[in-house]
Structure 1
Amino acid sequence: MLDFFLSILGIVVLSPVFLVLITCIKLDSKGPVLFKQRRIGKDKSEFYILKFRTMKIDTPKDTPTHLLKDPETYITRVGKFMRKTSLDELPQIINILKGEMSIIGPRPSLWNQYDLIAERDKYGANSIYPGLTGWAQINGRDELPIEVKAKLDGVYVEKMSLLFDLKVFFMTIASVAKSEGVVEGKNN
């Protein structure tokens, strides 16, 4: 319930930011404003995560950015800024409203990241709602090897509580402000 009410508040408060980002995306490159991608949710159910589109429309589908040959060539100018500031993640508030995600939890893996899914099974991290941010996100994000990421997701499962979620939330704000853990699109 808290996720639901906070996501409604987030949409209302952030609607001016949404409008500015939508305008910038449309002016910067052709294609849709939102990007949908198949992800793994609670109990390994599948859903489509929403993000602001940061990449050109000819980018290979269902490929994690770090596995592309030269990811920087696919990222749009506005996309670099949105990735650096994590603003591309804001449409996931809609996923939270729909009950597919939580504000805090393990980041949802791509449907074809079998190694990460299997590793998270060891720690029970596939049994809870994925989050907009999580313990692994603030402890390395894109830079973490899969085994470490899954273990940190398991730590979150063990420590889940309102107080721990608040800690993760405020640490996320600090991490985003410093662009910590962002690999692709960080350089301007």
Structure 2
Amino acid sequence: MSKIDLAIQGYPSRPSIGSAARRSAKVWLCLMLIGADALALLVGFAMGLQVEQPGSVSGHAWSSLLGGMVVYAGVAFQNQAYNPRCLTSPTKSCRAALLSFAATALIFLLAVFSLKVTGRLPRFALSIGVISTVVVLISQRLLICHIVRRTCGDKLEAELVIVDGGTVPDECLGSDIIDAGTMALRSDLDDPYMLNRLGTILRHYDRVVISCTPDRKAEWAQVLKGANILGEIIVPEMSELGPLAVHDLGGTPTVVVSRGPLNLANRAKKRALDIALTVPVLIVLLPAMIAVAILIKLDSPGPVFFRQERMGRGNRIFHILKFRSMHVETSDSDGTQSTRRDDDRITRVGRVIRKTSIDELPQLINVLLGDMSLVGPRPHALGSKAGDELFWRVDRQYWHRHALKPGITGLAQIRGFRGATEHRHDIVNRLKADLEYLHGWSLLRDVGILARTAQVLVHRNAY
């Protein structure tokens, strides 16, 4: 049994049936909303086309309608029209749908004018179609919100309350509750396995609320910032101050201390970029990777791949894959000893593949599995040190970087911050770059980092 298995043994790894059902229902309801929008567009414009051409509709008109539906889906997704909040808030739902439809209509008109086919447009049918679509779109959105609020209430989030020495408000009794003392769960920033245990529990929830003693609030806040979840701490005394970053749990005030840096739409775009690039790159590089694997086997005895525990998104531990570049008997599974420029643990083939970053290629498999992304903060070994001090003890903000998936490359790497961490500033520089990336993420920035990575594949600090 691995350390990870031991770390979570005897602890809840799944939410209650009610919370699981609520989370599943949210996904299915969002999918239903997408289908309802598509049906609204189809019905609305079909009505307009039937007015213009009763009894028959040309294939060209149907293909144009299908293209419009695809454009609308893309715009609506970008415009947060399928955010779970649109299932319970009629105002937000209708506003997002109308803005998305207006943007789709604008794109359609620009395409028509660019192609100079305005003279062939059935203007009356188009007008009827627009009016009908708006009416059907708003009607179905209001109906869905009404049904969801009557059957599920105003909230669809799966909530967890962790009690660590604090009181349990009566309003919390409807949520899943874990007693940290009974479960031996601690906000220990010096214990990666404890953080992995917490991350394993939180992955099944949308929101976590901590009820703890005042002296533990700061530490819990630091833990939650890297957990990739809406994290809050109950602070009853804050209710009189009226700060802006305050939520409530059934009427009990809570202070918002963390939030996942990427919303659903941005996570989907980032994942789509990963898949779109990783699959063809793996296919193209497969012969070269096989050749490297053969050379590794011929050069020294042992496995082709080196697997090591690394800290991933939400402070959850995963196993990173690399081509083995060291002798098996001297490999450092915990990463406590940084690789030196003249390190005699490195094999002959290993020295070449490390210098050219070829040893990192198997991480494309981690990306495909969803453990990593192409771009993000580099995952570090649990025993990594800057000088003689563990990374997370140099700066407690180190845990914040785990709010995103770790990456094969990142902002720190293209700025030249790689190689051994012999001094404190070596990890501080990387951490600053990681936090800058975390707070300023954009898909365009990811593309730019990938383009610039080619310039640092061979680097003086790579050995």
* TM-score of the aligned structures, taking structure 2 as reference length: 0.37
Q: 1:160 to 1:181 in 2, by over 3 A?
A: farther
Partner of 1:66 in structure 2? 338
Paired residue type of 1:131: G
Partner of 2:298 in structure 1? 27
Paired residue type of 1:30: P
Partner of 2:391 in structure 1? 116
Say yes or no: does 1:14 pair with 2:312: no
Say yes or no: does 1:133 pair with 2:133: no
Instruction: Tell me if structure 2 keeps the 8 A contact 1:123–1:153.
Output: no
Say yes or no: does 1:38 pair with 2:309: yes
Q: 1:29 to 1:67 in 2, by over 3 A?
A: closer
Cα shift at 1:66 = 1.8
Instruction: Tell me if structure 2 keeps the 8 A contact 1:40–1:111.
Output: yes
Cα shift at 1:146 = 1.1
Say yes or no: does 1:161 pair with 2:433: no
Give the Cα–Cα distance (whole angstroms) in 1 for the partners of residues 430 and 277 of structure 2.
26
Cα shift at 1:155 = 1.1
For residues 94-151 of structure 1, the C-alpha deviation after alignment (integer angstroms, 9 at most, x for no partner) is: 1001100000000001123484346373683110000000111122212561111111
Give the Cα–Cα distance (whole angstroms) in 1 for the partners of residues 357 and 339 of structure 2.
19
**Structure with the larger RCO, 1 or 2 (CA within 8 Å, 6+ apart):** 1
Give the Cα–Cα distance (whole angstroms) in 1 for the partners of residues 316 and 383 of structure 2.
13
Aligned alpha-carbon RMSD (Å): 2.1
Which stretch of structure 1 is more off in the superposition, 157-166 or 122-131?
122-131
Paired residue type of 1:77: R
The structure having more radius of gyration, on CA atoms, is: 2
Give the Cα–Cα distance (whole angstroms) in 2 for the partners of residues 9 and 117 of structure 1.
36
Partner of 2:452 in structure 1? 171
Q: 1:120 to 1:99 in 2, by over 3 A?
A: farther
Give the Cα–Cα distance (whole angstroms) in 2 for the partners of residues 62 and 29 of structure 1.
21
For residues 54-82 of structure 1, the C-alpha deviation after alignment (integer angstroms, 9 at most, x for no partner) is: 000111431255267x8621000000000
Instruction: Tell me if structure 2 keeps the 8 A contact 1:104–1:131.
Output: yes
**Identical pairs, percent:** 38
Which stretch of structure 1 is more off in the superposition, 103-112 or 139-148?
139-148
Q: 1:65 to 1:168 in 2, by over 3 A?
A: farther
Structure 1 residue runs of 4 or more that deviate by more than 4 Å after TM superposition: none
Secondary structure of 2:298 counterpart: helix
* TM-score of the aligned structures, taking structure 1 as reference length: 0.87
**Where in structure 2 are there 5+ consecutive unaligned residues?**
1-271
